[in-house]
Amino acid sequence: MLKLMPFVIGLSALMMTSCGNSMTRAIETETAAEAEICRTIGQKLPTRSRQDTQQTKDEIQEVYLNYKLACPRWAHLIPV
């Protein structure tokens, strides 16, 4: 969890800011600042590894789901 903490904190902050409010607005009204936040966090999302424990896999999946909820237009940045 320690290696995921910056992403969890970042996503929490993101969801509490105006980017998180994008879920209740039309996607077209996303501000430049919101887009920049979503892009920046999306480019730094954690990747999976064969060495991941089940707990780490679950935590990464939760980060991905929260990111997709906060930044639906940027879901393409989630690693596959």
- Predicted confidence (pLDDT) per residue in 41-77, tens digit: 999 999 999 999 999 999 999 999 999 999 999 999 9
Q: Which residues neighbour 23 within 8 Å (Cβ) at sequence distance 6 or greater?
A: 69, 70, 72
The yes-or-no verdict on residue 33 having pLDDT over 80 is yes
Helices (H) and strands (E) in the chain, counts: 4, 0
Is the pLDDT reported for residue 18 higher than 60? no
Confidence of residue 30 (pLDDT cuts 50, 70, 90): confident
Distance CA 19, CA 70 (A): 6
Q: Report pTM.
A: 0.66
